[in-house]
Structure 1
Amino acid sequence: MRCPCGCGQPVELPLIREARPRWSLQVDKDGHPSLEPSVWRRGGCRAHYFVRRGKVVWV
């Protein structure tokens, strides 16, 4: 996915169990994704946010 801040940088979030760090993805019955834990870009734009039910929630 692309960073939602608008900087256009790709955000890669490993979902496989063996990866560290890794994120978990859940999709609700309406198809809205949620990610855990939050996404925090340590470089570049330094965006920090959650994805909850398909929406970005800024920290």
Structure 2
Amino acid sequence: MGAYAAYRGWYEIRVQRTPAVRDPVIDAPGAVLRKITDALDAVALQRLPASSRAC
């Protein structure tokens, strides 16, 4: 975990210099997190009554 944190810090410095930087080591955890979040949102929406759902 420490190595990832150090790499992430180095990545943030690169992004400040060149905003268009893409990096698969950084993008992969974000993609996984998006999938988990989408799945949890779908489950939550199924459990909420229709009157409670946001538009």
Comparing both structures, which one devotes a greater share of its residues to helix? 2
Q: Whose RCO is larger (CA < 8 A, sep 6+)?
A: 1
Return the TM-score normalized by structure 2.
0.23
Comparing both structures, which one devotes a greater share of its residues to strand? 1
Between structure 1 and structure 2, the one with the greater Rg is: 2
